[in-house]
């Protein structure tokens, strides 16, 4: 319907400084499951034209402007190579906007996004809503399956992870309530072993083995409160 107020009306160019800034990070490198997540930023911009500005819950019309800072040039780069450019783009946006939205790309944009805040990582908290904990091992490099583990290994960042793969959300209250996460991991694998044909969607746990060392020692080594 022509002329219908929609969210795209609120988007302005980088020449204007709005309260909210948007940075696109079309990162596809390191995806555990191949896909086209790098197409998400332009697709989201197109989708905004189909979403109205009226909020039925608050009975208010959305009016906050959003500065679109475009996409970071990271085509063909590895996660390690893209980390710097993404972090720098987030750092600039966070300096001039009250709120910055980083649009991936795959989950690997999480770590450079957090690092781009320019704050000591032990002063930063991360709330992640996902079907997985993103806690795979990092010994084979970065991927979209281990940004949370990478951040924890950086400086022990605090994390609350809400697993939304099942019917109910399940929370790890501490960053690393490693014991709780390990218990979920073991329960999921027990189910997987007894039901070899079960869908992957049933298994909502890290996709790699936990450290062989005792959990408490692993937690202490990474400055994590378990």
Q: What would the pLDDT profile of 183-198 be if each residue is shown by its tens digit?
A: 554 555 555 455 443 3
Pair 40, 26: CB distance under 8 Å: yes
Q: Which residues contact 197 (CB under 8 A, 6 or more apart)?
A: none
Same domain, yes or no, for 157 and 169?
yes
Tens-digit pLDDT profile for residues 169-182:
444 444 444 455 45
* Structure confidence at residue 158 (pLDDT): 67
Parent domain of 9: 1-118
112 in the same domain as 2: yes
Question: Which of 65, 100, 118 is the last residue in one of the domains?
Answer: 118
Instruction: Tell me how many domains the chain contains.
Output: 2
Contacts (Cβ under 8 Å, ≥6 apart) of 137: 146, 149, 208, 209
Quote the pTM value.
Answer: 0.70
Q: Are residues 80 and 172 in the same domain?
A: no
Q: With beta carbons less than 8 A apart as the criterion, state whether 146 and 137 touch.
A: yes
CATH number for the domain that contains residue 83: 3.40.800.10
Do 145 and 194 lie in one domain? The reply is yes
Task: Say what the pLDDT of residue 162 is.
Answer: 61
Residues in the chain where the model's pLDDT stays below 70: 1-2, 156-226
151 and 91 both lie in a single domain: no
Sign of CA dihedral 170, 174, 178, 183: negative
């Amino acid at each position: 319907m022509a002329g219908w107020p929609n969210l795209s009306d609120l988007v302005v160019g980088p020449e204007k400084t709005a309260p909210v800034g948007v940075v696109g990070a079309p990162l596809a490198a390191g995806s555990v499951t191949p896909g086209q997540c790098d197409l998400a930023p332009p697709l989201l911009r197109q989708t905004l034209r189909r979403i109205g500005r009226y909020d039925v819950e608050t009975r208010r019309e959305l009016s906050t402007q959003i500065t679109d800072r475009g996409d970071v040039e990271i085509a063909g780069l590895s996660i390690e190579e893209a980390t710097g450019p993404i972090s720098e783009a987030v750092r600039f946006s966070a300096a001039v906007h009250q709120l910055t939205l980083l649009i991936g790309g795959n989950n690997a944009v999480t770590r450079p996004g957090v690092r781009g805040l320019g704050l000591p990582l032990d002063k930063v908290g991360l709330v992640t809503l996902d079907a997985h904990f993103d806690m795979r091992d990092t010994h084979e490099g970065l991927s979209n399956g281990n940004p949370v583990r990478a951040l924890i290994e950086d400086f022990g960042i605090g994390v609350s992870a809400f697993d939304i793969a099942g019917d109910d959300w399940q929370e790890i209250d501490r960053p690393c309530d490693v014991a709780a996460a390990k218990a979920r991991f073991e329960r999921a694998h027990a189910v997987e072993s007894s039901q070899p044909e079960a869908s992957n969607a049933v298994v909502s746990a890290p996709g790699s083995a936990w450290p062989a060392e005792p959990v408490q020692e692993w937690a202490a080594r990474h400055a994590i409160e378990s």
